[in-house]
């Protein structure tokens, strides 16, 4: 069975929008804290810890966005769904689970 590129592209575009929205929300929350915790040092420590967590989540979302954008590029250049190592087709089930996969199951181990 072959990969439906139109469906794959739609799914990737939806993922791209989700990651961009997540990044924007996190950036906004870091730059414009929703709560004023500057009165007590304990509150400041919690706020700093939360900002560290948000920064980590933003980094993960940005990396995932890069994966999605690369997959969209592979659709455009005709290499989507091919393993980067062996050149064989990536399993359809794998692409459904991880639409930006670049390796077949054998090489992903």
The whole-number pLDDT of residue 60 equals: 96
In Å, how far from its chain's centre is CA 14? 11
- Best mean pLDDT range from 31-35, 46-50, 80-84: 80-84
> What average pLDDT does the structure give for the chain?
88
The whole-number pLDDT of residue 42 equals: 61
Half-sphere exposure of 76 (CA within 13 A, CB side): 8
The band of 31, judged by pLDDT with boundaries at 50, 70 and 90, is confident
Mean pLDDT of the 12-39 span: 83
The whole-number pLDDT of residue 50 equals: 78
User: Which tens digits make up the pLDDT trace of 36-79?
Assistant: 555 565 665 666 677 788 899 999 999 999 999 999 999 999 99
Give 75-82's long-range contacts (Cβ < 8 A, gap of 24+).
75/5, 75/8, 75/9, 75/12, 80/3, 80/5, 80/8, 81/3, 81/8
The whole-number pLDDT of residue 52 equals: 84
């Amino acid at each position: 069975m072959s990969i439906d590129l139109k469906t794959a592209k739609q799914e990737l575009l939806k993922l791209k929008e989700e990651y961009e929205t997540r990044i924007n929300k996190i950036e906004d929350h870091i730059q414009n804290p929703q709560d004023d915790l500057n009165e007590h040092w304990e509150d400041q420590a919690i706020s700093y810890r939360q900002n560290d967590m948000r920064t980590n989540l933003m980094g993960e979302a940005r990396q995932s966005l890069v994966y999605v954008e690369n997959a969209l590029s592979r659709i455009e250049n005709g290499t989507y769904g091919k393993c980067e190592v062996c050149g064989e087709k990536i399993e359809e089930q794998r692409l459904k689970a991880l639409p930006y996969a670049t390796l077949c199951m054998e090489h992903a181990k």
